[in-house]
Amino acid sequence: MTGVGIALIAEGKYDEAEIYLRQAAEHGNPDGMANLGNLLLRQKRLAEGTEWYRKASVAGSAYGMVNYGLELAKMGRNEEAEDLYKQAATMNSAGGLYELSQVYAKQGNDEQSELLTERAVAGGNPSAMLKLARIMLQRGNPTKAEELYRRAAKRGPQYQAALGEYLAKQGRIGEAEPVLERAAEHGEPYAYHCLGVIAAGKGELTQAISHYRTAIGYNSIPDALIQSKVNLAQLLLMTREDDNEKEAEQLCRDAVAAGSGQGMVLLSLFHKHRGEDDEAQALIERAQSAEDAGAASALQEYLNTAPTDSEETG
């Protein structure tokens, strides 16, 4: 029943999948419980999904332990989450090893974090592959990094998007675009974001706006891809149309609510335009302590040096 349910999820047949997974779960199958939890969370049925993760964890599913741990971490129950990751890791769960590596990384224990990451990669965890790829890039080993990106890309559109982004950053746009387009065809929001960045870089602003809007439309993504909102707001402001300015301001407010320093810098423009200098200055000062303070500062410098209406030549 669990196997059939998982296959149906892959086909997008969620209602049918739930029937099989629920039967498996109610018969006490730990993996059925964990996969039912996953399906329910995909459908925003958070309380029931989390409860099935808990039951799966108690029943001995490493997959359930890892996913229940992730939900506990969202609630701030980090010690309980860490205990579950450790239990899963002792069962050689690639997911447990990866999440535990993240815990050690946050604690500043890079050596232990990397050892666990390598074990997770050996177990086939694609997120661990991306993490190790970034480590390889920092160490000047792009060949190994690309190998890891390509291995991860075989595991689904989310990881295809990561490969496409890597290729684009290497300036290999011709290789990046088809990879990102395949991921986008499978509904990966970040692929649309990356395609938007590429289109904007080519000066294809209408296409870039379309890609960013599509990325933002996937509400299942945490913060709805805030960088897409920031980028889209900048492009809409370039059009100088009233309707677009209204949309741009709302996008900036969304970005500010999520803590984006770049959003704060852009929103300050609206306050300046209205003569609300104190509000504008307060946003600029807030941006200096945001997580993306460096990017916010660069954006502010760009805006301060950009040509005015009278200076533009078209």
- Per residue in 211-223, pLDDT (tens digit) is 999 999 875 555 5
Taking residues 259-282, what's their average pLDDT?
A: 94
- 33-60 mean pLDDT: 95
Span 111-166, pLDDT tens digits: 999 999 999 999 999 999 999 999 999 999 999 999 999 999 999 999 999 999 99
Q: Which helix (H) or strand (E) holds 2?
A: helix 2-10
Domain ranges of the chain: 1-68, 144-220, 242-306
* For residues 42-47, average pLDDT: 92
Residue 306 is given by DSSP the state S
pLDDT for the residue numbered 294: 95
pLDDT for the residue numbered 306: 64
Q: Pick from 209, 277, 195: which is nearest to 248 by CA?
A: 209
Q: pLDDT tier at 314 (50, 70, 90 boundaries)?
A: very low
Q: What pLDDT score does 222 carry?
A: 54
Protein fold of 144-220: 1.25.40
pLDDT of residue 313: 32
Quick one: which of 208, 216, 292, 287 has its CA closest to 250? 216
pLDDT at position 187: 87
Q: What is the mean pLDDT of residues 255-268?
A: 95
- One fold for 1-68 and 144-220: yes
Contact 160, 189 (CB under 8 A): no
What percentage of the chain exceeds 70 in pLDDT? 95
pLDDT at 3: 95
Distance CA 161, CA 135 (A): 18
Average pLDDT score, the chain:
92
CATH architecture of the domain covering 1-68: Alpha Horseshoe (1.25)
> Is residue 312 very low, low, confident or very high in pLDDT (cuts 50, 70, 90)?
very low
